[in-house]
Structure 1
Amino acid sequence: MRFHALLLMAASLLLPSLTCAQGYISRLLHQPVPGGVAVVGLGAAEQVPQVFYKKDRVMVVRDSDQAWIAIVGIDLKTAPGAQTLQVKSSQGDRTMDFQVQAKHYKSQHIKLKNQSHVTPDPAQTKRFEREYAEQMKAYANFRQSGPSNVSLDKPVEGRLSSPFGLRRFFNGQERNAHSGLDFAVPAGTPVKAPADGVVTIVADYFFNGKTVFIDHGQGFITMYCHLSAFQVEQGQEVKRGQVIGLVGATGRATGPHLHWNVSLNNTRVDPAIFINAFTP
């Protein structure tokens, strides 16, 4: 009995250290659902490992416990079950699995006055395809330098309206699910960068309206849509908290708001995860 009691006491002493072994970023961001983020531990090697998921490079940073972690964006269309990472390190190449859990997303019906924002004509479609290619190129970029922070500030302070992942119907016709997070705030509200980065796109797009992209490093990209004005230029370095534009209602918008999205390893994920507002 005394030996058994000693074992229980030893286990109770070890539990806090086991809990602390999981770093701050892991506890903050690990939401492995479709449209979510998986944080996968890689160990404490001296050299940073390289990680790939479906051929796209994945962000790798040190967590607060000094272990390397992969921060993996999961596509909204991913089925629940096992997913595999390819890991290259000084110890050799290996694969690592993580599990994707199920999540249900609601539907949203939107009435637009401008029917061309539902069914564009051929000229508008050609414009959209060109703009879409520009955006996909920006999302696919991978700068080696890491982000200044992965726990993000809100780009504006205001009510969250349309959440990420909604199945969207415009004038009764289903279109792509909502790939970002909307903030219902007045026109002219300053929009601030949530982390340091480099501005890669400043453009007026057919659907997105006035749009800014910021590359925060290692495939961590944020986008800001429907702006009324720009406060930055393409190629400019910005700091966390710097104003990059003003809220508006340009493009496919029914009123003033900010549409904000976050991308990891060329995959759009729920921005709510990064501002501690995620609902499982």
Structure 2
Amino acid sequence: MHLNTSHLSRRTALQATLCALASPAAFAAPAKFDIWPHESRVPGGVARLSLGPAAQRPKVKAGDFPVLVAGDMIEWTAIVGIPLSAAPGVHRVQVDAGEGLQSLEYRVRDKRYQEQHLKVSPKTVDLAPEDLARHERERAHQQQVMALFTAQRSEDLRMRVPVPGRRSSSFGLRRVFNGQSRNPHSGMDIAAAKGTPVVAPLPGKVVDVGDYFFNGGTVWLDHGAGLLSMYCHLSRTDAKLGDVLATGDAFAAVGATGRVTGPHLHWGVMLNQTMVDPALFVPA
């Protein structure tokens, strides 16, 4: 008896394909670790709030600030930055999906961040009058940068780490400089040698380049819809205001400018004018 082995192999392959499609795993929702940014409903974290289906992208506000809305007409999601100052308990956003304003609640859990004591130059803690005046001018300017809300550039919010290296200081750390308590650390510090290239974690536009009292050489990138990123203590900036960058484009170099104890990159991520933990946007 002659067997048509090519026919049998095709039939076996077809059966295997049909079995795979019939498996529940074939229709399973994406794994949580494939959803970016990760949700963490704590101060300095991110809340992902389902808005359901709608023909047009809903408009959402947290207080007075617009919120990034991702997804499509089948399922929209509000991605809300939670301030480090947020108290545990119920918080709300306002949603306009074309049928009038509605309030959507979510609950924030408490989180205790660690404390770090640092020794730095006394002049960067007890500011001289001229340094204080400079800092106030710089803060007013950067508040204008942080208020930007432009068209969304990418639906994929998984970020590339901007520089290789050890995370030398984590987001939310309570810092004490020369015995004086200051605001919690609002970014991620990555230890790297001076001159190490810094790359864009997502497509973005350069919206600020400056040399600031505390932050030293600084660049802000706008990724759209109130998602911005900040890079501080740079030794060199290779991009200029208005440049449009693709993911992975180098635009600056690690340094030790501003108030620092050594070379590293301070990387901050902002949503709805709130600094959030960059670790939620990148693989562990």
After superposition, the CA RMSD in angstroms is: 2.2
CA deviations over 1:71-91 (Å, ceiling 9, x no partner): 000000111111101001123
Deviation (angstroms), 1:276? 2.9
Q: Of 137, 154, 158, which residue of structure 2 is paired with 1:130? A: 137
**In structure 1, C-alpha distance between the alignment counterparts of 2:99 and 2:29, rounded to whole Å:** 26
Indicate which of 60, 67, 88 corresponds to 1:80. 88
Q: CA deviation at 1:135?
A: 1.1
Aligned to 1:258: 265
Aligned equivalents of 1:186 and 1:54: distance in 2? 40
Name the counterpart of 1:55.
64
Q: Which residue of 1 aligns with 2:180?
A: 173
Q: Where do 1:13-162 residues align within 5 Å? A: 20=29, 26=35, 28-62=37-71, 66-112=74-120, 114-147=121-154, 149-162=156-169
Distance 2:34 2:149 in 1: 21
Structure 1 residue 148: Cα displacement: 5.4
Question: Is the deviation greater in 217-226 or in 54-63?
Answer: 54-63
| One-letter code aligned to 1:202 | V
For residues 27 and 237 of structure 1, do their structure 2 counterparts lie closer, same or farther at Cα, with a shift above 3 Å needed?
closer
Q: Which structure has the greater CA radius of gyration? A: 2
Q: Matched residues, percent identical?
A: 45
List alignment gaps of at least 5 residues for structure 2. Answer: 1-21
Residue identity opposite 1:119 in structure 2:
D
Number of residue-to-residue matches in the alignment? 263
Q: Is contact 1:33–1:100 with CA below 8 Å preserved after alignment?
A: yes
SS at match of 2:138: helix
2:169 is paired with a residue whose SS is coil
Q: Deviations over 1:183-206 (max 9, x none)?
A: 011111000000111101110000
CA–CA distance in structure 2, aligned partners of residues 81 and 211 of structure 1: 35
Deviation at 1:16, TM superposition (A): 6.6
2:280 equivalent in structure 1: 273
What secondary structure sits across from 1:29 in the alignment?
coil
Secondary structure at the aligned position of 2:281 is classed as: helix
Structure 1: runs of 5 or more not aligned:
1-12
1:158 partner letter: G
Give the 3 Å change call, closer, same or farther, for CA 276–261 of structure 1 in structure 2.
Answer: same
TM-score normalised over the length of structure 1: 0.88
Q: 1:7 maps to which residue?
A: none
Q: Does 1:227 align with 2:234?
A: yes
